[in-house]
Amino acid sequence: MLEYLALVYVRHINKSHKLYVFTLAQVDGGRYSLSFTWANYWFKNKTVYFGDWVVVANTTLSGYYAAMSRAVDALAKKWQASDKQYKPQAYPQMSQALREISRAVAGTDIDKPLGRGYALVTDFVWKVLAGALAWGVASGITTGITAYYVHRDPWRATRCGFLVGGITTISAFVSPFVAGMRAVHVTDATGMIVVPLSIYAC
Amino acid sequence: MLNRLIFSVAFFTILIGVIYLWLGVAPLVVFLTVVVSLSGFLTAVLLLMRRLDVSTEKALETAAPGYFTNLATQKLFVEALLTGDFWAVASAVAGILLLAFFMPYSLAKLIIQHQTKTQQRDET
């Protein structure tokens, strides 16, 4: 039987700025074999968002948070060094929160050795998710209805609508995340993943 | 880079066309699917170049993911158009306008805007 530890930290900085840290760690024989953390800084009217991965190995739960805190701090300094106009907001707040969690966890009964920990740190704008969802739902409904009139098969129409709606939502949502990549790779991946799935479902 | 993109677009167009024919889809449907998808793709490229003032390469690069998605989904709308059923045609027209013509431009615009803003790194 698999056992997990879930840890949720929320800080309401002000009306439009909130910070969330979600951790899920797999308990395995008195230690954590694997853990994943999503640390997210939420802006109400933000127009830009970023994400970075952090990987930590062979430490304790408090050491994992401390390492994440140092990593986020280093990332903020790195971005600041790349652009003098850039004024870090999200990453310093995240670093501080992770440091606080590390101190709070240290010495408690949940502070056990950890094999490997992953973290995704993001600052996020709700408008992108809302827009992607609206766009995906519209695409899914249109495609589903059309598929029903063509095939007269409710199951196939549902499958097709969900697939196209899902793919559209995901691609609209992740496109800003992949904006830093060469779009030609995104293009090829789209062709190889979306096309066979859509042909199969619709 | 431009050659790589043109090759990518041509390669996927031919590959998907061949897959459709191999699956027994009528050649007319395959042809119309490519025509509809390509029209949306070129419309997106032209709009991006005119309205956002981006290079041809950037416009092709960012509109291509939408085009590939359309190659796979527009067949359904073309088939619906050919049924002649009022509601099938109505939903197909809505789908073509939304997915074939608006989606590639909108997705590409989103990518370009965020690429520009990411370079500015003004808030994180």
pLDDT tops 50 at residue A49: yes
A175 contacts B12? CB cut-off 8 A: no
Measured between beta carbons, the chain A residues lying within 8 angstroms of B61 are: 182-184, 187
CA atoms within 13 Å, Cβ hemisphere of B66: 33
A150, A183, A191 member nearest B83 (Cβ): A150
Q: Tell me: the pLDDT tens digits for A79-122?
A: 777 666 666 678 888 899 999 999 999 999 999 999 999 988 87
Q: Tell me: the pLDDT tens digits for B28-71?
A: 999 999 999 999 999 999 999 999 888 888 888 888 878 888 88
A199 contacts B107? CB cut-off 8 A: no
Q: Tell me: the pLDDT tens digits for A133-165?
A: 888 898 899 999 999 999 999 999 999 999 888
CA distance A125 to A44: 6
Interface predicted TM-score (ipTM) over 0.85 = no
Beta pairing class for A17-27 and A3-12: antiparallel
Give the predicted TM-score (pTM) of the model: 0.64
> Bigger pLDDT: B13 or A48?
B13
Measured between beta carbons, the chain A residues lying within 8 angstroms of B1 are: 184
Q: Return the bridge partners of B5, or none.
A: none
Measured between beta carbons, the chain B residues lying within 8 angstroms of A187 are: 5, 8, 61, 64-65, 68
Q: Tell me: the pLDDT tens digits for A27-42?
A: 988 899 999 998 888 7
Which letter, b or e, does each residue of A155-181 get, where b requires 16 or more Cβ atoms within 10 Å of its Cβ? ebbebbbebbbebbbebbbebbebbee
A46, A149, A167 member nearest B69 (Cβ): A167
Does the CB of B102 have a partner CB in chain A at under 8 Å?
A: no
Task: Please report the DSSP string for chain A in residue order.
Answer: --EEEEEEEEEE-SSSEEEEEEEEEEE-SSSEEEEEEEEEEEESS-----EEEEEEEEEEHHHHHHHHHHHHHHHHHHHHHH-TT----HHHHHHHHHHHHHHHHTTSTT--EEEEEEEEEEEEEHHHHHHHHHHHHHHHHHHHHHHHHHH--HHHHHHHHHHHHHHHHHHHHHTTGGGGS-HHHHHHHHHHHHHHHHHHH-
Instruction: Please report, for chain A, the start and end positions of each structural domain, with discontinuous segments joined by +.
Output: 3-126, 127-201
CA distance A35 to A192: 31
